[in-house]
Chain A
Amino acid sequence: MATRSSEQSAARQQGLLSMLADGKFHSGEKLAAKLKVSRSAVWKLIRTLRLLGIEVQAVPKQGYRLPRPVDVYDAKTILEGMPRALRARLEQLHVLLQVDSTNRFLSERAAPEIDQAKVCVAEVQTMGKGRRGRTWVAPFGSGICLSLSFKFAESPPQLSALGLGVGIALLRVLDQFGATEVGLKWPNDVVWRGRKLAGILIEVAGEAGGPTRVVIGVGLNVHMPVPVRLALAEQQAALIADLGEILQGLLPDRNQLAAALIEHLIAVLDEFALRGFAAFVAEWRSRDALANAAVKVLAGNETLQGTALGVTDDGALLVDVRGERRQFFSAEVSLRAVK
């Protein structure tokens, strides 16, 4: 449980960050006056931001600034970006400066009421969850880390394919902001020209045919610095894309993106509750980045080569392996070069 003083200092750190967000110089004196703290307290806050990996430049006689303007999260702006009826379904919106993992933050909290949602966004995620403990890399301001907790009255049909439905929600957001050539790689990576643009991780907890709580974590690359890309390419052989390069400078504010994400996620969840994956399967097939591609499938201890044939009505991956049609529910799939 956070103590009152740690909440207060988190609020001050966020306050300081919002003031620096414009990328212009701010003198220590003015910052201190606005935050109603001493100048040495401002220095301590700056140091905390730096420890979070946020680069703050300090220039004598000019003050502090961020190397470039950053659209920091703001709860009010996110809420205003959503239709009024939808706001009523959002039980909580947590805007955090720092969190270990937005998914864990929500998983540890009580589930929302049925058909309601709780959302968490964070500027810095120190232990972002990828699948199987892989970390999801997201330096400050580089992307969107958003988690949404939702409760179904009863477990929807084909719940196991929910991740594929959530992929559709992401595509709808990206389409809305004008991104083209974006597709889905089974089960739910969002890719652009073969590179990963966004990832999804879902945690499900539910009881026998009763209410089911899902926590959906979305990581979307918005502006990935070059050093991070290089590190990822080197360490994980992962090639990534970001929204900045796709939209060529016409980048939406992260608050607008977050608002659109919440809106489309809830719309998909509502539809899924009624009709399951059947509501999305046609749209999914039309955006399948692996359709008819030569693929390598890693399933358990088995590595297979074949041709991807799309998804079944349950969302499983269909692969032609030497003339045999096989379906996979849990596997890693990657494109392979054809000789």
Chain B
Amino acid sequence: MDIRKVKKLIELLEESGIAEIEIKEGEESVRISRGGSQPIYHQPAVHYAPPQVASAPAPVAAAAPAVAAAAPNNDYAVTAPMVGTYYASASPSSKPFVDIGSEVKVGDTLCIIEAMKMMNQIESDRAGKVTSVLAKNGEAVEFGQVLFIIE
């Protein structure tokens, strides 16, 4: 299932105030619910961001854990370990580190987040295939925001 659809569903869910949506598409199904089930999500390992940001994550970040919990396959969400500016490539002229469909190994650079003129290389801690790239080049990202989905 296209992760953008899932993202859209989450937004719909948030706007509507309904507690749960379940969508079936062929053999795949996704159920998204607010709260309830304990989300299983990637704990950002390096805590660069100040606590007040961490405790008030952006809506997308809050919704993301539900996706990870509900997705039926082995999707793994890579989240931003800090607040900053997202860059998909090492320089504006070079190509992105990863694209949809890229195979990544543990330790491969996925993107760079710039904060206070430090270029933080965000490395993959899972091996797999990138199925979604959720941040845009040059955009601000919040602590805990989902950047990539790796299958």
Interface residues, chain A, CB within 8 Å of chain B? 129, 131-133, 155, 158-164, 186-188, 200-209, 212, 299-300, 312, 314-316, 329-330
Contact = CB atoms under 8 A, between A and B. Distances in A.
* Most chain A CB neighbours (cut-off 10 Å) among B83, B93, B119: B119
Interface string B98-138: 00000000010100001111111101010000000000001
Contacts of A133: 90-94
Interface stretch (B10-18, B22-30, B42-50, B62-70): B42-50
8 contacts: A131-B114, A133-B90, A203-B119, A208-B45, A208-B46, A330-B83, A330-B84, A330-B140
A162 B87 contact: no
Contact of B116 (A129, A212, A316): A316
Contacts of B77: none
Interface residues of B, number: 30
A314 B45 CA distance: 18
A161 B116 contact: yes
B85 interface: yes
Nearest to A302: B140
A206 B117 contact: no
Contact of B115 (A155, A160, A186, A201): A160
Contacts of A330: 83-85, 114-116, 140
A163 B118 contact: yes
Contact of A200 (B49, B84, B117): B117
Given A158-B48, A188-B117, A204-B121, 9 more contacts: A129-B91, A132-B87, A133-B93, A162-B118, A163-B117, A202-B117, A204-B119, A329-B84, A330-B115
A196 B93 CA distance: 26
